């Protein structure tokens, strides 16, 4: 392995600011090389997967600061438990499952404020129409607020299914639930979000 030279600030350097576009693809042997002690290979894994981990945590937790804390902890756990990962299987399902677990831990260990102000990633293009971007930003803020109005289980299922684009079967495996349960949670979440958004829109009309 890498020994104990890896400190939390190593990961913090890549977790600051808005989630950035993934530009690095994992090479087929990156995980195996990382497990053999290649630090550059682990950095390759981080660059490949950090955006999906960070944005998943952001959607579940609602704020950039909490999402950054969660994402950093996810990759620290990956680093510590690399030898438990099966290199013959895709790594992302493991990371999704760990992200959900870490978000659970944050909920349990903090005095959670259900009225916290949710934040959205700023993905605006410098050449975009400001009026269009303002409208999009308002819509994103509305959806982000709606997500926080869901139960924890509904939010996790919906984020993985509708935002991260996983199949119901994949979501069930990550959450340790049955597909029927996940379908029910997603259906309930969609109805709640629709009503939440409609209520907000009526309030602004």
CATH code of 144's domain: 1.10.10.10
Q: For 128, which DSSP code?
A: S
Instruction: Give the domain range for residue 77.
Output: 1-113
pLDDT grade, residue 181 (50/70/90)?
Answer: very high
Q: Which of 91-95, 113-117, 140-144, 158-162 has the lowest mean pLDDT?
A: 113-117
Report the number of distinct structural domains present in the chain: 2
> Are 108 and 7 part of one and the same domain?
yes
Q: Are 71 and 50 in contact (CB under 8 A)?
A: yes
Residue 87: exposure state from Cβ atoms within 10 A (0-12, 13-18, ≥19): middle
Question: In terms of DSSP H, where are the helices of 62-165?
Answer: 64-80, 92-109, 130-148, 152-158
Q: Taking 70 as the threshold, does the pLDDT of residue 125 lie above it?
A: no
C-alpha distances out from residue 86 to 1, 31, 74, 93, 162, Å? 15, 9, 17, 11, 27
Whole-number pLDDT of residue 27: 67
- Structure pTM? 0.74
């Amino acid at each position: 392995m890498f020994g104990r030279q890896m400190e939390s600030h190593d990961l913090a350097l890549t977790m600051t600011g808005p989630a950035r576009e993934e530009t690095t693809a994992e090479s087929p042997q990156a995980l195996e090389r990382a497990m053999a002690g290649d630090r550059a290979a682990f950095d390759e894994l981080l660059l490949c997967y950090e955006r999906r981990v960070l944005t998943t945590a952001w959607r579940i937790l609602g704020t950039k600061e909490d999402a950054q804390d969660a994402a950093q902890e996810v990759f620290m756990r990956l680093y510590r438990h690399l030898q438990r990962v099966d290199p013959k299987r895709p790594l992302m399902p493991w990371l999704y499952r760990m992200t959900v677990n870490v978000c659970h831990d944050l909920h349990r260990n903090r005095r959670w404020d259900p009225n916290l102000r949710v934040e959205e990633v700023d993905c605006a293009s410098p050449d975009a129409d400001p009026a269009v971007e303002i409208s999009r930003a308002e819509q994103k803020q509305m959806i982000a607020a709606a997500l926080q109005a869901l139960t924890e289980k509904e939010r996790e299922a919906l984020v993985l299914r509708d935002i991260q684009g996983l199949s119901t079967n994949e979501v069930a495996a990550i959450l340790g639930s049955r597909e029927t349960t996940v379908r029910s949670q997603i259906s309930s979440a969609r109805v709640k979000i629709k009503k939440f958004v409609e209520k907000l829109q009526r309030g602004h009309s």
